[in-house]
């Protein structure tokens, strides 16, 4: 029994020895020569003591400096490129990184600096402090394990290793610190949207208080061009408003281009503008599409820089403006209507509503009518659906005329349905005919009113 225990202990000792041998063999020889510690301080100051930071590599160099905005808040700008927008949080985090630089390892024997990449450094970051002092650092090559970089100060021969996550911030390109949000649009704050393209100038805007009071009041937006119509709130929400949660840059292409032609921005394919309450419009120019990446070249109207963005951010750019409008050619709220006189096929129909307090009564040709049946016929009268825009002269005898009388002091409206081409009927409202509907729908409407007039109670 004792012999068996001795054998087991011996085996365990061999295994433990093998484990430590493997660990030592797997350790990078240069890192193994260092003193391991997580609390080796290379440089320390207060973050607020840093007034400027320079990132310098063989490929680029730029400097962040502090300034105070209109609200006296400290922010950062790039020297010589003050117009570009920065992600202030990311630049602040870089300042925190510079304010406390700790090493993971100190290299004992660093007489041959070339072995650590200091003959061709990855970068020369530096900070300027509030008193004007400049502290410079040198980033060497990556350690063999890839977990860190060799690092030293300019005025001290000591070589350290610094974790990659920190060292790479000290040599990162400017793009890392730029604000990728090109514009933030709050859908609830929008008052106007424009889309200009080769085949259409689309302009929609929120109605004024006066317009909302004078019309049916069912929609809060109206289209000014290419159709002068109410905009369907549901369609606007689904087609545009849900798609404009953010406009994010994919790549920063050129901050000061000599020409916009190669990007297709000298003659933009689309000009898309959003106006929010009490703010200047945000206007995008869209140029050439980069097919392989499904990206598009973009610039803002009042800025020089060219970017790429996902084409999907402007997925509504080619929509048919007809998709936005309320396609009912004429609509009125029944609460505002006293009567409708319809003349069609040699017959006359008078639909009348009387109100006494909370009591409402419905009649057709002086016959009492049930509310449900009356409202169904009313929906037929105002439910004629636009199919297109009238482009030819309209002068034939009407298929019907309808006169709407109101109870709110508004003047009467005269609606006419006139044959247009073979299959359609142009609808004139007070003499102006801009749109046509299907003739079949008009004839179906007349037929339903006629049947309702014959026996309202059966409807």
Q: Please tell me the distance from the alpha carbon of residue 362 to that of residue 372, in angstroms, as a whole number.
A: 10
198 and 310 share one domain: yes
CATH number at residue 405: 3.30.1490
Question: Over the stretch 283-316, which tens digit does the pLDDT of each residue have?
Answer: 999 999 998 889 999 999 989 999 999 999 999 9
What digits encode the pLDDT tens for the residues 174-232? 999 999 999 999 999 999 999 999 999 999 999 988 777 666 556 899 999 998 888 99
Q: Looking at 147, 177, 207, which one is the last position of a domain?
A: 177
Are residues 28 and 46 both part of a single domain? no
- Assess whether 153 and 190 both reside in one domain: no
User: Are residue 26 and residue 38 in the same domain, yes or no?
Assistant: no
* Residue reference for tokens 């439910």: 383
Contact call for residues 45 and 99 (beta carbons, < 8 A): yes
Average pLDDT for residues 116-133, to the nearest whole number?
97
Residues 313-356 pLDDT 10s: 999 999 999 899 888 899 888 999 999 999 999 999 999 999 99
> Is residue 38 located within the same domain as residue 173?
yes
- Residue that finishes a domain, picked among 177, 201, 224: 177
* 413 inside domain: yes
Average pLDDT over residues 259-271: 97
Amino acid 124: pLDDT: 98
Is residue 328 domain-resident?
A: no
| Model pLDDT, residue 336 | 92
| 284 and 403 inside one domain | no
Other C-beta atoms closer than 10 Å to the C-beta of 112 total 9
Rounded mean pLDDT, 383-391: 92
Residues 244 and 118 in one domain: no
Q: Is residue 329 part of a domain?
A: no
My answer on whether 149 and 191 are in the same domain is no
Same domain, 344 and 451: yes
How many residues would you count in the chain? 459
Domain membership of residue 198 (yes or no) is yes
187 & 224 share domain = yes
Q: How many CB atoms lie within 10 A of CB 96?
A: 11
Same domain flag for 164 and 198: no
What's residue 216's pLDDT?
Answer: 56
Residue 163, domain member (yes or no): yes
What is the count of structural domains for the chain? 4
Q: 243 vs 47, which has greater pLDDT? A: 47
> Which whole number is the average pLDDT over 38-45?
88
**Domain limit, last residue, from 149, 177, 205:** 177
pLDDT in tens, 441-459: 999 999 999 999 999 987 5
Q: What's 80-141 look like in SS3?
A: CCCCCCECHHHHHHHHHHHHEEEEEEEECCCCCHHHHCCCCCCECCEEEECCCCEEEEEEEE
Exposure letters 170-193 (e unless 16+ CB within 10 A, then b)? bbbebeebbebebeebeeeebbbb
The answer to whether residue 405 scores a pLDDT higher than 50 is: yes
Give residue 425's pLDDT. 97
Domain presence at residue 272: yes
Range of the domain at 146: 34-177
Q: How confident is the model at residue 6 (pLDDT cuts 50, 70, 90)?
A: very low
Q: What is the mean pLDDT of residues 425-448?
A: 95
Shared domain for 28 and 38, answered yes or no, is: no
């Amino acid at each position: 029994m004792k012999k068996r225990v001795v054998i087991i202990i011996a085996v365990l000792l061999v295994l433990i020895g093998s484990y430590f041998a493997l660990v030592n063999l797997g350790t990078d020889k240069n890192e193994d020569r260092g003193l391991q510690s997580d609390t080796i301080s290379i440089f320390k100051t207060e973050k607020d003591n840093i007034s400027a930071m320079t990132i310098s590599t063989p490929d680029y160099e730029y400097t962040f400096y502090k300034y105070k905005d209109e609200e006296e808040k400290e922010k950062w700008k790039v020297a010589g490129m003050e117009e570009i927008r920065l992600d202030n949080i990311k630049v602040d985090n870089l300042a925190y990184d510079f304010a406390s630089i700790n090493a993971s390892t100190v290299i004992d024997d660093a007489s041959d600096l070339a072995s650590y990449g200091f003959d061709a450094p990855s970068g020369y970051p530096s900070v300027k402090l509030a008193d004007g002092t400049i502290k410079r650092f040198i980033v060497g090559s990556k350690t063999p394990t890839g977990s860190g970089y060799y690092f030293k100060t300019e005025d001290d021969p000591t070589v350290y290793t610094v974790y990659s996550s920190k060292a790479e911030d000290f040599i990162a390109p400017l793009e890392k610190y730029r604000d990728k949000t090109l514009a933030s649009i709050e859908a609830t704050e929008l008052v106007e949207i424009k889309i200009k393209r080769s085949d259409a100038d689309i302009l929609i805007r929120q109605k004024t208080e006066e317009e909302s009071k004078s019309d049916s009041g069912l929609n809060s937006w109206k289209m000014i061009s290419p159709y002068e119509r109410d905009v369907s709130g549901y369609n606007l929400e689904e087609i545009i408003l849900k798609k404009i949660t953010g406009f994010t840059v994919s790549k920063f292409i050129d901050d000061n281009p000599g020409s916009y032609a190669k990007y297709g921005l000298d003659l933009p394919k689309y000009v898309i503008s959003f106006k929010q309450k009490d703010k200047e419009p945000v206007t995008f120019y869209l140029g050439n599409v980069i097919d392989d990446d499904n990206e598009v070249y973009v610039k803002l109207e009042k800025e020089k820089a060219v970017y790429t963005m996902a084409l999907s951010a402007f997925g509504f750019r080619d929509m048919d403006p007809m998709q936005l409008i309320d396609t009912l050619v004429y609509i009125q709220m029944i609460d505002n209507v006293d009567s409708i006189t319809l003349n069609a096929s040699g017959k006359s129909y008078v639909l009348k509503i009387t109100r006494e307090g909370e009591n409402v009564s419905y009649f057709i040709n002086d016959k009492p009518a049930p509310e449900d049946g009356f409202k169904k016929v009313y929906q037929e009268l105002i439910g004629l659906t636009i199919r297109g825009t009238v482009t030819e002269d309209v002068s034939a005898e009407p298929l019907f005329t309808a006169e709407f009388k109101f109870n709110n002091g508004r003047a009467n409206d005269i609606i006419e349905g006139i044959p247009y081409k073979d299959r359609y009927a142009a609808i004139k409202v007070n003499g102006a005919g801009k749109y046509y509907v299907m003739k079949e729908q008009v004839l179906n409407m007349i037929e339903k009113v006629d049947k309702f007039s014959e026996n309202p109670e059966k409807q």
